[in-house]
Amino acid sequence: MINLETVLDKKHPSTLESMYNLALMLSDQGKYEQAEETHRQTLGPKEMVLSKEHPSTLTSVNNLTLVLSDQGKYEQMEEMHQQALELRETVLGKEDPSTPTSLNYLALMLSRYWPGQVRAGGRDALTNTRAEGYSTG
């Protein structure tokens, strides 16, 4: 098997895509710690090569938050997802289909793991303030 990192470089888009796919596979297998590590190894170079604002980078951040959630790292998940959501709103706009999907996922995770709590900048702020301006159908 060819090692893409030695042939193409760690920052080459094909290497990053392969690492991203490996992280997804590890997550599907329940190997969350390895998946988190692989997502993080991919995220840094993606931010440098593509930018933090690139849709592919935002998707990678979203998938990392899923792995964090699977491991019970809810505060890290919330912080990272909030940052990605803010970038998504700025870069793609509230009209892009992925933005309200991301908002809904964050609200779901927050309500699941912190039910009934008022969190500054968290679930209640999302549902009461952030949701303004989003189309409801």
As a whole number, mean pLDDT of residues 45-67 equals: 89
According to the per-residue pLDDT averaged within each range, which of 99-108, 113-122, 127-136 is highest? 99-108
Q: What is the pLDDT of residue 120?
A: 47
What is the average pLDDT across 57-67?
Answer: 90
DSSP class of 119:
-
Considering Cα of 99, then 102, then 108, then 110, what sign does the dihedral take? negative
For domain 4-130, the question of CATH label 1.25.40.10 is answered with yes
At 112, list the tokens.
């699941």
| Burial class of residue 47, CB neighbours in 10 A (0-12, 13-18, 19+) | middle
Give me the pLDDT at residue 33, please. Answer: 96
Predicted pLDDT of residue 26: 95
* Better-predicted residue by pLDDT, 102 or 119: 102
* Dist CA 79 CA 63 (whole Å): 14
Q: Which of 12-16, 108-112, 130-134 has the lowest mean pLDDT?
A: 130-134
Rg (CA), the chain: 16
Domain extent listing, the chain:
4-130
Q: Cβ–Cβ contacts within 10 Å for residue 129, how many? A: 10
Euclidean distance between CA atoms 34 and 23, whole angstroms: 7
Position 59 scores a pLDDT of 87
Are the CB atoms for 72 and 80 separated by under 8 Å? no
pLDDT band at 136 (very low <50, low <70, confident <90, very high): very low
Q: Tell me what the pLDDT averaged over the chain comes to.
A: 78
Length of the chain: 137
Which residues make Cβ contacts (< 8 Å) with residue 67, sequence separation at least 6?
23, 27, 32, 35, 36, 39
The per-residue pLDDT for range 8-21, each reduced to its tens digit, is 677 777 888 888 89
Task: Please tell me which residue, 84 or 124, carries the higher pLDDT value.
Answer: 84
